[in-house]
Structure formats: structure tokens, C-alpha cells
């Protein structure tokens, strides 16, 4: 897939390093302690195309990090293979703090766990400098479905096993796994209908070709307000400001929490002092009003963590989704 860069230009030093001998994931040559870091531009790889929510957050984050670090930040969109192409690009770079990844559940958890031959071990090969954002999904249904609450939806599903369809943005997407986790936890049988992206899945939920789906708030709020979709629950720990009258899944008797998130990653083996400097810059960047507004507009919230807190959070996410993927026998297309 083509790579789209915010700032173009050849980086001879990194190119020579790559030609001198690419290292395998998890076998990086550390740059060692370097109090001068950063002494040259830093590349932030976004494993999705330009123009999406993750890309928007990345570009605002890069501007703020650039100010904090007093160095140029280059946003490089490297999409494909559910985000794993961009992640693999980061792992081919030296572990010296000059190539970063704005990571998501797609390439850190979902895709590698569903592939028969994953290109890397995310838990081993990446280290978080901290998290950036976290947001819930909304469970929405077609208004024609006779269900105004989660309890009514569960009764309908139990009365008609396998006859209620849920749409998703694609096999292995967070919207797909959210539906699988919901069904598993509630003990119901739903039929998954994957689409090529969120927009057609929403369109067919509105049209009644599928009866329900999970999606991020920003994409479904206009349809909820127009009455073409009905919200039944949000997947966060607490209700969200945009939908204060919509209960959480936990309130509705299904004890799960589901978040989409972004965290800032470096290749494992990056010197600790560089990770520390990067985390300090990230913490200040998250106070940026424009960045905060962009995160809120996406239906998420700022999610500041230390590297240690991020590691614990990610371990919990990998356990949750890994168990689901294996127990439901979910595989990549």
C-alpha cells in the first residue's frame, strides 16, 4: 500500500541503517543513552489512511509534540493489512526514538491474534510511552426492531436464535469483536455480517438489512438525533455526555466494557531515558486544547497514562480480546 507523508523527503541516515541490515522484530540495536535526543526530525507512523479519526488526532498530537520537543515531527500514513503494515515499518527502524507508532487495537491486538502468521509479537516488540485517547462504542438498533432496551433485545435474540444480524466495519474490526463479546457475555446467538467499512454497515442498519451494530459515538450521533437509529447502551464504565439518557451495558445487565483507544508506541529496546522524555512531552501535549477538542469530537476522552500504567492496561486488553478471539474461533479474512 502507498505511504502518505505529511513532510516528504529522504532520510539518508535511516535509509543507510536499513540497508546496512534490517533487524528482526524484538532484536533492535538500542541507541543507548542519548541526552541530546531529539537531534533530528521524528517520524510518527499512523497505520491508517489520511483523513480518518486516528490520522486527525495524530496530526494534532504531532504538532504539540513538536513544540514540546523543539523538533520537527513527520506524520507518515502507512495503511494496509489492518494496520500491521505500518506497525511492521516501525519495527524495521532502529530503536532510537526517531520512529514512533500511534497504535490502536487493530494492529496491536486484533489482527496479530487472528493471523495464522503474525508479522510481530505486539506485546514483545512494542513498548508504550503512554496512551492518548479512549472512547466507547454505542449499541444501536434499527427502530423497526421491537427493542427499546438491552433487556428487550436479549429477549428477542433468545426467542429467535441466530436470526438477529449485527453489522460491523469488517471481520476482526473492533465493531465486530464488540458484537461477539456482547453475544458471548449475554449468552445469545447473533449472526455477524461484515462490511467494508463503517459507513456501509451503518447504512444497512438504518435500512434494516441488519438489525444492530456497535459503532463509535461520532459516527452514529447524527442518525440517533434524526431517529434513524435507536441507541440502547454505551460500552463505557459510565454514561457519556453526548448520550446522558443512554445506560451503560453494565447498567443493562451485561457486565462488559469496550473501548477503542490510541497509545504512543516505540520499538522495544528504545532507551529508557528517551521513553521518559517522550512520555513527559506526551503528558504536556494532552493538555493542548485543540488536541483535546479533536479527541472529544471523535466521541472519546483524553487517556493520559504512565508507560507502566499503559503496559498494565494493554495486558488486560490483550487478555480480554485474546480469550474472545480464540474461544469464538475468529480468523482474519
Residue-wise pLDDT for 57-115, tens only, equals: 999 999 999 999 999 999 999 999 889 999 999 999 999 999 999 999 999 999 999 99
Peptide bond into 38 cis (omega under 30): yes
**Other Cβ atoms within 10 Å of 199 Cβ, number:** 11
Residue-wise pLDDT for 264-282, tens only, equals: 999 999 999 999 999 999 9
The residues spanned by each domain of the chain are: 41-135+259-327, 144-234
Chain center to CA of 236: 15
The residues that bridge with 73 in the sheet, in sequence order, are 42
Supply the CATH classification number for the domain 144-234.
3.40.190.10
The residues that bridge with 214 in the sheet, in sequence order, are 139
Q: pTM for this structure? A: 0.84
* 41-135+259-327 against 144-234: fold identical: yes
Measured between alpha carbons, how far is 61 from 290 in angstroms, rounded to an integer?
9
* Residues 204 and 195: beta-carbon distance below 8 Å: yes
Say which CATH class 41-135+259-327 falls into. alpha beta
Residue-wise pLDDT for 113-166, tens only, equals: 999 888 999 999 999 999 999 999 999 999 999 999 999 999 999 999 999 999
**Other Cβ atoms within 10 Å of 61 Cβ, number:** 27
The residues that bridge with 215 in the sheet, in sequence order, are 138
Amino acid at each position: 500500500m502507498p505511504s502518505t507523508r505529511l513532510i516528504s523527503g529522504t532520510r539518508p541516515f535511516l535509509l543507510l541503517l536499513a540497508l546496512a541490515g534490517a533487524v528482526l522484530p524484538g532484536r533492535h540495536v538500542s541507541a543507548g543513552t542519548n541526552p541530546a535526543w531529539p537531534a533530528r526530525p521524528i517520524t510518527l507512523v499512523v497505520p491508517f489512511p489520511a483523513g480518518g479519526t486516528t490520522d486527525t488526532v495524530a496530526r494534532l498530537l504531532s504538532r504539540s509534540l513538536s513544540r514540546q520537543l523543539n523538533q520537527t515531527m513527520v506524520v507518515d500514513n502507512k495503511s494496509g493489512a489492518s494496520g500491521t503494515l505500518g506497525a511492521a515499518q516501525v519495527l524495521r527502524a532502529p530503536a532510537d526514538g526517531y520512529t514512533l507508532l500511534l497504535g490502536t487495537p487493530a494492529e496491536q491486538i486484533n489482527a496479530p491474534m487472528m493471523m495464522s502468521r503474525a508479522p510481530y509479537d505486539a506485546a514483545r516488540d512494542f513498548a508504550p510511552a503512554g496512551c492518548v485517547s479512549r472512547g466507547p462504542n454505542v449499541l444501536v438498533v434499527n427502530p423497526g426492531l421491537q427493542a427499546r432496551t438491552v433487556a428487550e433485545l436479549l429477549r428477542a435474540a433468545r426467542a429467535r436464535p441466530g436470526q438477529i444480524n449485527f453489522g460491523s466495519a469488517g471481520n476482526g474490526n473492533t465493531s465486530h469483536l464488540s458484537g461477539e463479546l456482547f453475544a458471548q457475555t449475554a449468552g445469545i446467538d447473533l449472526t455477524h455480517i461484515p462490511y467494508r467499512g463503517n459507513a456501509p454497515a451503518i447504512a444497512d442498519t438504518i435500512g434494516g438489512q441488519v438489525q444492530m451494530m456497535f459503532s463509535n459515538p461520532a459516527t452514529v450521533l447524527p442518525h440517533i438525533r434524526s431517529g434513524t437509529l435507536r441507541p440502547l447502551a454505551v460500552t463505557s464504565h459510565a454514561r457519556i455526555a453526548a448520550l446522558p439518557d443512554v445506560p451503560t451495558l453494565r447498567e443493562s445487565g451485561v457486565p462488559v466494557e469496550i473501548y477503542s483507544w490510541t497509545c504512543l508506541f516505540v520499538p522495544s529496546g528504545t532507551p529508557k531515558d528517551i521513553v521518559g522524555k517522550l512520555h513527559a512531552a506526551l503528558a504536556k501535549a494532552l493538555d493542548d486544547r485543540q488536541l483535546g477538542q479533536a479527541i472529544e469530537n471523535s466521541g472519546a476522552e483524553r487517556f493520559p497514562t504512565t508507560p507502566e500504567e499503559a503496559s498494565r492496561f494493554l495486558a488486560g486488553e490483550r487478555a480480554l480480546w485474546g480469550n474472545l478471539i480464540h474461544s469464538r474461533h475468529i480468523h482474519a479474512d
